[in-house]
Structure 1
Amino acid sequence: MEKLKGALVVGFLRLFALLPWRAAQAVGAAIGWLMWRLPNRSREVVRINLAKCFPHMDAAERERLVGASLRDIGRTLTESSCAWIWPAQKSLRMIRRVDGVEVWERAKASGKGVVFISSHLGNWELLLQYVSSISQPIILYRPPKLRAVDELLVRQRTQLGNQLAPSTKEGILNLIKTVRKGGVAGIAADPEPSLSSGLFVPFFGVPTLTSKFVPSLVQGHKAEAVFIHALRLDDGSGYRVVIEEADEALYGDDPEAAVAALSAGIEKQVRIAPSQYMWSMKRFKKRPAGEQKWY
């Protein structure tokens, strides 16, 4: 049964990747529109998250953001299918602009390891190909449950000679060693960690359990940190990569201040294109002691 499920998923990804770019976007937007209009759990999670993160937004305006968010989630799905199937060079042609390349150049010139910090904003699959084209990074990832999908993603995500580190003890240790030797790592820093591995710090004004891993990796400038995302252009023609330097607090000895700086850096880029964040993720599943669960 698992093999059949994997084959079906890979088959659908290949079908999406056969579509012209605009058609893939249109199919994705239609999937997202249906998710907005039909009752489903993802829509409710988006509504809960946006109500908590944008409490002062007019209700009608916030509902429009719910719809825009779900349509962008659909677009990201079908566009990512292209990145999962296409040759890397074809994917890279969808990167139309890069803002902040000088931030990366300074970090690289430091001679230390560099940590690219990203999140589930924009298109992280295209972003992976871009980061791999300018460096030879090791990318931390969570393997999907279906073996056929995992094999496809590993093959596609390593086209340019980069490494993948599964989010296991061995994979994390390999990533740490790479950075300590002056290598480059890519980390999506917004998945919710265990209670022992994170701290509650503000994200859109909401106490949010956030991982201590990245701050511990760069503490005292043992490595340089830069925030990076690939944001969909308004005209849909492709993406622009946004690179920004980390606040000095991220490198400090105060764990809470460092983790807060990590969260603030991600929030800053999410605010550029809020509908492109994956608000369907249960980002706020764990709550501070005594607070009621959201989901």
Structure 2
Amino acid sequence: MITLFRALAVLPLPLLHGIGGLLGWIAFIASPAYRRRFAANARQAGYRLGEVLGAVAAAGRLLAETPRLWFGAPPRVLWSGAELIDAARARGHGIVFLTPHLGCFEVTAQGYAGRYGPITVLYRPARKAWLRPLVDRARLRPNLIAAPTTLAGVKQMLKALKAGQAVGLLPDQVPPDGLGVWTPFFGQPAYTMTLSARLAAQTGAEVLLAWGERLGWGRGFRIHLRAWPGTMPAQPEAAAAAVNTQMEALIRECPSQYLWGYARYKQPRKGAA
């Protein structure tokens, strides 16, 4: 698999995105379960299927661009709102980046690592043994540090924030049972992590919202940054609800690049906490 990914990594980004768009539609047509979940999630957010069909190809492009991002030359990255990072760093604060499953979330961490320095990202180790060497090798990027979804990984993130560094989370990812609360996401209860609020509260880090827009015709990516409005609530339930509200706002900026097929409302895994 590593050899295959290395071979794909040398292909031009426009070609990879073209292939990925086709793969996205093949998966959509071939899987009734995927189509139903895609349509149901979009409908829950108030969108008709025709309004978000662009997300079908976007899901395939996310898959096809992965070899380039993991093993290839860094893509072209533009920035919108980078002054928010500059200000936080000037104040000597760590930064907690919150990014939904929108656009290219891999490039947000890589873009920060390439421009500013170390960032620790939370990731779930591959469940299949044959995938682990590929994923572990892919995470070895300059200034990009991977923290597993374990207690040791949380301690690793706390240490990074206390040192004034950055961490990145996907807060719309369903956490293991015991590590979240049920709170509305687009009006439907979804199990939501409380880790982001705890990290900010324990370290005094600043919270920034981020997502990576996939530019058309393989022209690269644009990282969009938004300030967290006001103060993060202290109570876990209120903080999780506030995080979901902010993730919804980011998704509405570009619903055609959100992973509507993600099983956001599933039950959390038991016994993993």
- For residue 226 of structure 2, what is the aligned residue in structure 1? 244
How far off its partner does 1:15 sit? 4.2
Amino acid paired to 1:286:
Q
2:57 is the counterpart of 1:52: no
Q: Distance in 2 between matches of 1:84 and 1:211?
A: 26
Q: Secondary structure at the match of 1:263?
A: helix
Q: Distance in 1 between matches of 2:210 and 2:44?
A: 25
- For residue 104 of structure 1, what is the aligned residue in structure 2? 85
Give 1:43's match in structure 2, choosing from 28, 35, 54.
35
- For residue 293 of structure 1, what is the aligned residue in structure 2? none
How far off its partner does 1:195 sit? 4.7
Q: Is the 8 A contact 2:122 2:153 kept in 1?
A: yes
Give 1:227's match in structure 2, choosing from 209, 214, 229.
209
Please list, as runs of the form range in 1=range in 2, the aligned pairs for 1:1-295 lying within 5 A after superposition.
Answer: 7=1, 10-54=2-46, 57=47, 62-65=48-51, 67-86=53-72, 90-91=73-74, 93-95=75-77, 97-133=78-114, 134-147=116-129, 149-219=131-201, 222-250=204-232, 252-286=233-267
Mind listing any 5+ residue stretches in structure 2 that lack a counterpart?
Answer: 269-273
Q: Is the 8 A contact 1:210 1:259 kept in 2?
A: yes
User: What's the TM-score, normalizing by structure 1?
Assistant: 0.82
Q: Is the 8 A contact 2:199 2:205 kept in 1?
A: yes
How far off its partner does 1:108 sit? 1.2
Q: Indicate the percent of aligned positions where both proteins have the same amino acid.
A: 28
Q: Distance in 2 between matches of 1:30 and 1:132?
A: 31
Mind listing any 5+ residue stretches in structure 1 that lack a counterpart?
Answer: 1-6, 288-295
Q: Is the 8 A contact 1:118 1:228 kept in 2?
A: yes
The superposition leaves residues 264-284 of structure 1 with CA deviations (integer Å, 9 ceiling, x where unpaired) of: 222211111112111221101
Q: Distance in 1 between matches of 2:36 and 2:5?
A: 26
Which one is further off, 40-49 or 210-219? 40-49
Change in 2 beyond 3 A, CA 1:193/1:159: closer
Larger radius of gyration: 1
Q: Distance in 2 between matches of 1:153 and 1:94?
A: 23
Q: Is the 8 A contact 1:249 1:258 kept in 2?
A: no
Q: Distance in 1 between matches of 2:111 and 2:9?
A: 19
Q: Secondary structure at the match of 1:106?
A: helix
Q: Which has the higher helix share?
A: 1
Instruction: Specify which structure has the bigger relative contact order, considering alpha-carbon pairs within 8 angstroms and separated by 6 or more residues.
Output: 2
How far off its partner does 1:239 sit? 1.0
Amino acid paired to 2:44:
K
Q: Is the 8 A contact 2:43 2:49 kept in 1?
A: no
Q: Distance in 2 between matches of 1:16 and 1:116?
A: 29
